[in-house]
Amino acid sequence: MAIKLSKEVIDLINKKGSVKILATIDEQGIAQADEKEYLEVTKDGYIRYLELLETARSYKNFTRSLWFNQKISITIIGENKESYKIIGKPDRIYVSGDVYEEQYKWIRNDLGDVDLAAICIVEPEEIYDVTLSRNILTQDIEYPIFKHLDRILK
């Protein structure tokens, strides 16, 4: 089931300076994580990434995940170290048509003489705040027993 992403998360994903990492699983169950600069939230709340390489392992893994109903994850890291992990399922892949042609023209305008292998669409299903500073504070409050003794004795 799709979830609605908050404005804060959407802005972070759509921001040019954010680090965006797509994690997929290959046919042997080995994780593959790659930075995907061209990743954004669409107006209908899905996440779209532009795959530039036909030979990219992440593209092959994404396609396999679509076929076999497997999940993928996306980690977003902002300039201030705020970060979120989104678990989602591949929804569709465009390799032709109006949507593809529009993005193909856009990417060539942005990068020059490059190809666009596919437009991959993800339906977000879960989101986790994985910002270290916030999680440390939450753990200290909710699980004080987890503190090491040298921190407690201060």
- How does pLDDT run across 44-85, given as a tens digit for each residue? 999 999 999 999 999 999 999 999 999 999 999 999 999 999
pLDDT band at 154 (very low <50, low <70, confident <90, very high): low
What domains lie within the chain, and their CATH numbers? 7-152 (2.30.110.10)
Q: Could you read off the pLDDT of 96-138 as tens digits, one per residue?
A: 999 999 999 999 999 999 999 999 999 999 999 998 888 788 7
How far apart CA 149 and CA 154 sit, in angstroms, is 9
* Cα-based angle 17, 31, 129 (whole degrees, multiple of 5): 45
Q: Could you read off the pLDDT of 19-28 as tens digits, one per residue?
A: 999 999 999 9
